[in-house]
Amino acid sequence: MKLHGRPAPFLEWRCPTLARPFLRLGITLAGFLLWGITQGFLSDVFGLEDSSIPSWALLSFIALIVLIPLWRLVPRVAGWFGRKNGRIAVASSAVLFIPFTVIAVRSGLLFVGFSSEWFLFAGALLLLAASEEIICRGFMMDTLGFRKSRLTGLLLSSLAFAMLHLGNSHAAFAGIANIFLAGVLFGFLRLVTDGLLYPILVHWIWNLATGMIFGWNVSGHTLLPTVFRTAGHPPWGAFGPEESILMTIGTLGAIAVLVKKLYLSENKVLPPVTEPSE
């Protein structure tokens, strides 16, 4: 049987139906632990003892290679690259971005300039966004798709995504809850566009715009190199715009745009994950 253009994964068609959720959970935990262990090993090999964003981003991205053998054990819920429905993806992202852009402009932007580290950190944020999206919206969303449901993997991977930020500085319930909603948004972006390209780009542009253009904190990360500083104090705490009620409203609005595309399309129903027959 073919799944998304390739043979059914070996462990899927060999594994009894009742055992498949446990198999998927085991693959998920093994992959996540192996990813973390590999980062530590690479840190020792390359002598990167500091925890700066550029070094952490590089190690996180390189360590993703260990997921490939495990990822191939389960069918995919969507593609890997994906360029479908680009206009819908842009429209949904605008629902989230525009209000914060208005706040920044109305607060007054003070030009700081490009520092020597700006491009280094911008590249590091791209690697971090790619790493988090590949492991959460890619690997975990596929492995946690229990009971033939894409939504199960989407929600559980979003929960894991939120938990990855629990150790960030100034973490609070509102911020973690909004990061969960952001994970749901990125998950729907993968389904609508059939790949990880748009989730990675939107994730990266969010961090870049809020942290390195407008000069706000990003999920608790402070003092990133920035092009501007806002003159007024933003209407949220030290965790950053991720803890703002405006983020909640904007993210829910962006999700609604994507859900409408999925559920009111020709198919009417979100297609389930295709499972091999017994």
Q: DSSP class of residue 138? A: I
Contact 204, 125 (CB under 8 A): yes
Three-state helix/strand/coil letters over 35-64 = HHHHHHHHHHHHCCCCCCHHHHHHHHHHHH
Identity of the residue numbered 182: A
Angstrom distance (rounded) from CA 174 to CA 219? 11
Residue 57 lies in a domain: no
Residue 95 lies in a domain: yes
Residue 277 lies in a domain: no
Rounded to 10 degrees, the C-alpha dihedral 162/128/24/37 comes to -110
Smallest CA-to-CA distance from 228 within 109, 108, 104, 107 is with 109
Phi, psi of 228 (to 5 degrees): -130, 160
- pLDDT lower than 50: segments of the chain: 1-8, 266, 268-278
Structural domain harbouring 88: 78-263
Residue 250 lies in a domain: yes
Phi, psi of 84 (to 5 degrees): -75, 155
pLDDT attached to residue 49: 60
Residue 63 lies in a domain: no
Residue 20 lies in a domain: no
Q: Indicate the number of domains in the chain.
A: 1
pLDDT single digits (tens) 4-54: 434 445 555 566 665 678 889 999 999 999 999 999 898 888 776 666 889
pLDDT attached to residue 274: 46
Query: What pairs with residue 229 in β-bridges?
Result: 110
Phi, psi of 214 (to 5 degrees): -85, -15
Contact 75, 275 (CB under 8 A): yes
Angstrom distance (rounded) from CA 277 to CA 7? 13
Residue 150 lies in a domain: yes
Put residue 202 in one of left, alpha, beta given phi > 0 → left and psi -120 to 50 → alpha: alpha
